[in-house]
Amino acid sequence: MQSRNKILKETGKMLNAKWSEIPEKLQKLMEREKEAKKSGVPSTDREAMFLFQNTHEREGIKYYFGQVNVDKDALKNVGDKLLEQKKAEVITLWGIDEDSIRVFVWVEENNSTKVNAGNFLKQLLTPLNGKGGGKPHFAQGGVADISKATDIIREVEMLFSKK
């Protein structure tokens, strides 16, 4: 019985859910994985399962946001492939590793004068006490507190509600 409770507790932490919410969260993850496969979302050596995905458009530029359950190297590969497939002109992906949230931003080269990846990343991470930077077409950074993973979604929505 103790091992079952331990497994439930660990699963709850991984899903950022209470015990009673685990079945619902798992169902949503399975639905998102199914949708990701249908939409041709690229995978790396392991299947990339999006925990969150959304798009926004501003001033004719399409923005794509997603949380993916892969390590930082695989996360970068997923973003490179999404940009290559032209899923959006600006792509922001994040994932949680052992002790931090890793965030990457890609901007199509021909749009990097309109949207600077480094500046966009800083706008996203500053309210979360995160750090990062990079070039106009690619930036990376992170947040040390993994409990703020869901706050990234809120910050994305706030960025787009400002203008």
Angular region, 59: left φ>0, alpha ψ -120 to 50, beta rest: left
Q: Are 117 and 107 in contact, with CB atoms under 8 Å apart?
A: yes
DSSP 13: H
What's the confidence (pLDDT) of residue 33? Answer: 66
Q: Which residue is listed with tokens 């950022």?
A: 16
Nearest one of 81, 70, 83, 74 to 115, comparing CA atoms:
83
**Pair of tokens at residue 40:** 């041709």
- Residue 137, both tokens: 């077409």
| pLDDT confidence bin for 158, thresholds 50/70/90 | confident
Q: What φ, ψ does residue 96 adopt, rounded to 5°?
A: -105, 125
Confidence class for position 125, pLDDT limits 50, 70, 90: very high
Domains with residue ranges and CATH for the chain? 1-38 (no CATH), 45-162 (3.10.310.40)
Please write the tens of the pLDDT for every residue from 103-118: 999 999 888 888 899 9
pTM above 0.85, yes or no: no
Phi and psi dihedrals of 152, rounded to 5? -60, -40
Tell me which of 39 and 86 has the higher pLDDT. Answer: 86
Read off the pLDDT band of 51 (50, 70, 90). Answer: confident
The pair phi, psi for residue 42, each rounded to 5°, is: -70, 155
Region 72-99: mean pLDDT is 86
pLDDT of residue 9: 75
